[in-house]
A and B are shown apart, each in its own frame.
Chain A
Amino acid sequence: MAYAYLFKYIIIGDTGVGKSCLLLQFTDKRFQPVHDLTMGVEFGARMITIDGKQIKLQIWDTAGQESFRSITRSYYRGAAGALLVYDITRRDTFNHLTTWLEDARQHSNSNMVIMLIGNKSDLESRREVKKEEGEAFAREHGLIFMETSAKTASNVEEAFINTAKEIYEKIQEGVFDINNEANGIKIGPQHAATNASHGGNQGGQQAGGGCC
């Protein structure tokens, strides 16, 4: 399917926080309670619409386990957006965010949009990390923040789409050099011809799209 832009995302965070489940919920709209441990990278893709433009999200779901960590680092570069995920029921996954963030900042381009996600919000009774703590961390480090539930699909669409909107806005503002593919943005064939003249229209409405 033709698209105006392709944004590369990576999903990072400790093992078991629900990265693959978030991806599955976003691309397939389903929840799989037991998921194989991710090694290397698994891919997902979905088309969304922002400001009337078709945008393809190419999502790289990475391994969270420490033994695969060195490999995960290899995939940061060339990402336009990152979803940094922790589990609200596991304090340790929140405590490790700084390390993940340092890794991401060190190995990715400086303009990468990072969305901090506190996942498993459906497990309120087991919560170990307050929402305010997530918000404070995000504020301190210049991230966007949401709590999600891959199980109930709560805020999952919003997390992916809001990240895309942020990237799109940066494109409009000229922050991203869209001709440099190292920024994780590619211009689709339909858009390449008109790329030079795009204006400063910021924000826009989003609508979910079908899977690619």
Chain B
Amino acid sequence: MMTSVPPRKTWWKSKKTVKVRRSYSTFPSLNAWEKFRGLLPVDGETNPGVGLGVEEGLLCQMVHSPEFNLFPNSVVFESNFVQVRRSRDWKEIYKASNTMALGVTSSVPCLPLPNILLMARVIWHQGQSQTWNRPSTVPSINLKSILPLKFVELQIWDHHERILRLRTVTEKIYFLKLHPDHPETVFRFWIRLVQILHKGLSITTKDPTILVTHCLVPKSLCSPGGKSELVQKNSKGLQPSESLTHLMAQGESEALSQIFSDLHQQKQYSSSRSEKVQINKTSSEKATPCEDSIPCTCDLNWRDAFMFGEWERENPSGPQPHSLLSTLAASSRPRLSLIGGNSI
């Protein structure tokens, strides 16, 4: 049972440094934003991700709570699912009050891709909205597992029924149907996430066009311009989750950033009442000079501090020290790779 809830963080306030040029040309949910218009919460809820139940949700609140204190600086993208099994039709395995919260996050906030899958069982009280982040009566939520995403395969299994298939390397398979209370937009975000996990982003080593020779992010420093903050943070003493997150850096997982960025871009879009979706970033978003830089690569002198000089690709077939997950691949020619956008 979740017993404590940490102070709520506003995502865009906690996001500090990760900025890359993005292209949204392949992002299907932009059209969905049209449908989503009007569903934005009106009063007191400024973050559409929270309104959609995908950000700062129950799972996030639980793993960030003092009881777990896991990945405290990482965004969690989450939704509520119903576990189903295949027969003639999809059948629910558990009672309607018993759902599964599924989320992804990063052990280190500045990783370009999420690397952690979170699964929790949620038992709701009768009549509760099962996608609402802040129900008046907190449901019973029990964290069941933390899985490294490199040992998990996520697939869109039934688009019409909004079913994901989650398969682990140990061949455990779950069919998870997005909770009917979630709007279609949320499923589109999962589609987007699956795409990103399969194909990577152009700043990750999954993109073969990028030649990566070195890890450019030291374990302890990966916040451009945020070093002093980091030192202050670390000086507070060891936290239980410190070994998971190593030395916490400011910033956000880039893939999650993109998804949430879309949410927040929609907020801007909504408020401006523009009739057309703006694919390019707004001028206000281009305010910082670091925009085109690869995250965490502003100071190349950092490479001297690396414990792991060579970048190792995420490869489930071979053992990889977990500590390597705290490193961020970056291109040795970032400018070249980013010219023309970051399409997947």
Contacts and interface: CB of A to CB of B under 8 A. Distances in A.
Interface in B40-54: none
A70 B237 contact: no
Interface of A, helix, strand, loop or mixed by DSSP = mixed
Interface string B157-197: 00000000000111010000000000000000000000000
A45 B142 contact: yes
B117 to A, nearest CB: 8
Contacts of A2: 3
A179 to B, nearest CB: 10
Nearest to B143: A43
Contacts of A43: 142-146
A3 B66 CA distance: 14
B240 A181 contact: yes
B32 to A, nearest CB: 32
Interface of B, helix, strand, loop or mixed by DSSP = loop
B321 interface: yes
Given A36-B170, A40-B148, A189-B3, A107 B240 contact: no
Instruction: Choose among B172, B240, B322 the residue with the greatest number of A CB atoms under 10 Å from its CB.
Output: B240
Nearest to A61: B145
B170 A37 contact: yes
Contacts of A39: 147-148, 151, 168-170
Contacts of B142: 43, 45, 212
A21 interface: no
Interface residues of B, number: 33
Interface stretch (A73-81, A111-119, A196-204): A73-81
Given A40-B148, A43-B143, 17 more contacts: A1-B3, A36-B170, A39-B168, A41-B146, A42-B144, A69-B319, A70-B323, A74-B107, A74-B323, A77-B240, A78-B243, A180-B237, A182-B242, A184-B240, A189-B3, A212-B1, A212-B142
Interface string B231-242: 000000111111
A186 interface: yes
Given A36-B172, A70-B319, A181-B69, A75 B147 contact: no
Contacts of B145: 40-43
Contacts of B146: 40-41, 43
Contacts of A107: 243
